[in-house]
Amino acid sequence: MKKIIIILFIINLIILTTITKNSTKKLENEIFTIKENISLLKNKHSLVLLEYNFLTSPEKLMEYQSKYFKKNLIFLKKNKIKKINIINDELIINN
């Protein structure tokens, strides 16, 4: 009887190991795929950022301004700059 129990126990362990190994393998595959996708997305993101940096570079913005707007840009004078403070959910505007 003891022998049968031990054999059954070992068989059980073998089956469990196989199942665990299979599911781990699946997880590993999923992790690998996700990692690959993340690296692809990161790459894509940095390229989009590069494009954004190029398109929003000061030189380009000035080019668009002169192309699409009739009025010239004016620089802001120091005394026109207001300082906004938020104290107790209230906006306080200082000169």
Partner 1 sequence: MNKENIEALVLQNLKKKVNEDNIETLVLEDYENQFLFEKNKSNLDITFNRIAFIFFVFLIVSFIFSIKVVYLGSLTPNIKKNNFFVTKNNYRADILDNNNNFLVKTVTTIDIGIKPNFIKDKKKLIINLKLIFPEKNFDEINKKIDQKKFFYLEKKISQEKYAMLMLLSDKSIIPEEKLSRIYPQKNLFSHIIGQIDNDNNGISGIEKYFNNELISQKKSLKLTVDTDIQFLIRKELIKANIVFNNIGSTAILMNVNNGEILSMVSLPDYNLNKRDQIKDVNYINRATKAVYEFGSVFKTFTIAAALNDKLIEVNTKFVNLEKKIQCGKSIIGEYDDKIPSDLTVEEILIRSGNIGSVRIGQILGIEKLRDFLENIGVLGKIKFDIEEVAPARKFIWGKCKLATASFGHGISTTALQVAKGYAILANGGFDIEPTLIKSKIDENHFKTRIVKKDTSEKINLMLRKVVSTQIGTAGLADVSGYEVGGKTGTAEKTKKGEYTRKKVNTFVAIFPTSKPKYVLLVLLDEPKTNSEYIYHYRDGKTPMKGTPRNTAGWTSVEVAGKIIEKIGPILATKYMEIN
Residue ranges in contact with partner 1 by CB under 8 A: 46-47, 49-50, 53-54, 57-59, 75-79, 81
CB of 63 to partner 1, least distance (A): 12
Strand partners, 90: 87
- Looking at the Cβ atoms of 3 and 72, the one nearer to partner 1 is 72
CB of 37 to partner 1, least distance (A): 17
* HEC profile of the chain: CHHHHHHHHHHHHHHHHHHHHHHHHHHHHHHHHHHHHHHHHHHHHHHHHHHHHHHCCHHHHHHHHHHHCCCCCCCCCHHHCCEEEEECCEEEEEC
CB of 83 to partner 1, least distance (A): 8
- Looking at the Cβ atoms of 2 and 77, the one nearer to partner 1 is 77
- Looking at the Cβ atoms of 54 and 64, the one nearer to partner 1 is 54
